[in-house]
């Protein structure tokens, strides 16, 4: 199975993106949030965590920018009635930490507000995963944040953007970036989320 791929973002569509890895274009399905982040990286090199889903009639790749998101996706697949596409819909519906909080609180009503998640599926998600997500959170190591990333974060929060939204954006930035580039990119990507 493929653990991760590193290559250049070649194309992004509504549900998938193509990653060019040494001349081979991998068609990768991803959540709405991941696709938004990948859109900005068009033509640039990136690394993506991969989940390979193999059936008799198909071989699909699902991509994630963060390892905890991939781990959570795999946990969702353990839920009776949740397949890869519906798991992606769940991840597209709200931030990962919010979904995990709903599960831990047993809030099936909030979960059922996610795309393609009915009441029974939401209850099944809570029943299967409640109390088991701590393992995912403990595995998720906080990324080291450079001084430049801190300054970008501070500047965007001071401009009125929500702290949680800014944190998610800054986590997706390249390790080496200037303050000006980061703030400019933040203004482009976060516009309309104040």
- Domain containing 90 — which CATH number? 1.10.150.20
Q: Which residue has the tokens 């800054």?
A: 170
Range of the domain at 108: 67-139
* pLDDT at residue 147 greater than cutoff 90: no
pLDDT digits (tens, 9 = 90+) for 46-105: 999 999 998 888 889 999 988 888 988 999 999 888 889 889 988 888 888 888 888 888
Count of the separate structural domains present in the chain: 3
Asked whether residue 152 falls in the same domain as residue 88, the answer is no
Residue 179 belongs to a domain with what CATH number? Answer: 1.10.8
The SS3 call for residue 113 is: coil
Task: State whether 75 and 46 are in the same domain.
Answer: no
Q: Is the pLDDT of residue 143 over 90?
A: no
**Residues 105, 159 within the same domain:** no
Q: Is the pLDDT of residue 154 over 60?
A: yes
Question: Using an 8 Å Cβ cutoff, are 28 and 19 in contact?
Answer: yes
Q: Residue range 3-26: average pLDDT?
A: 93
Structure tokens at 109: 């009503």
Q: Do 28 and 77 share a domain, yes or no?
A: no
- The stretch 181-191 carries a mean pLDDT of 86
Element of type H or E holding 48: strand 45-54
CATH of the domain at 46: 2.40.50.140
Give the whole-number percent of the chain exceeding pLDDT 70. 92
Q: What is the pLDDT of residue 36?
A: 86
Give tens-digit pLDDT for 116-136: 888 888 888 888 888 877 544
């Amino acid at each position: 199975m493929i653990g991760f791929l590193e290559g250049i973002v070649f194309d992004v569509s509504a549900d998938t993106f193509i990653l060019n890895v040494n001349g081979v274009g991998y068609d990768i399905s991803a959540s709405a949030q991941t696709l938004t982040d990948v859109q900005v990286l068009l033509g640039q090199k990136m690394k993506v965590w991969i989940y390979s889903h193999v059936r008799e009639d198909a071989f699909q790749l699902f991509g994630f920018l963060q390892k905890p998101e991939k781990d959570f996706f795999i946990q969702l697949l353990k839920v009776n009635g949740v397949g890869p596409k519906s798991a992606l819909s769940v991840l597209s519906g709200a931030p990962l930490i919010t979904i995990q909080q709903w599960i831990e609180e047993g809030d099936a009503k909030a979960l059922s507000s996610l795309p393609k998640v009915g009441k029974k599926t939401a209850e099944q998600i809570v029943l299967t995963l409640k109390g088991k997500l701590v393992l995912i959170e403990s595995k998720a190591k906080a990324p080291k944040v450079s001084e430049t990333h801190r300054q970008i974060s501070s500047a965007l929060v001071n401009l009125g953007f929500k702290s949680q939204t800014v944190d998610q954006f800054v986590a997706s930035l390249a390790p080496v970036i200037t303050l000006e580039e980061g703030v400019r990119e933040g203004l482009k990507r976060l516009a309309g989320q104040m």
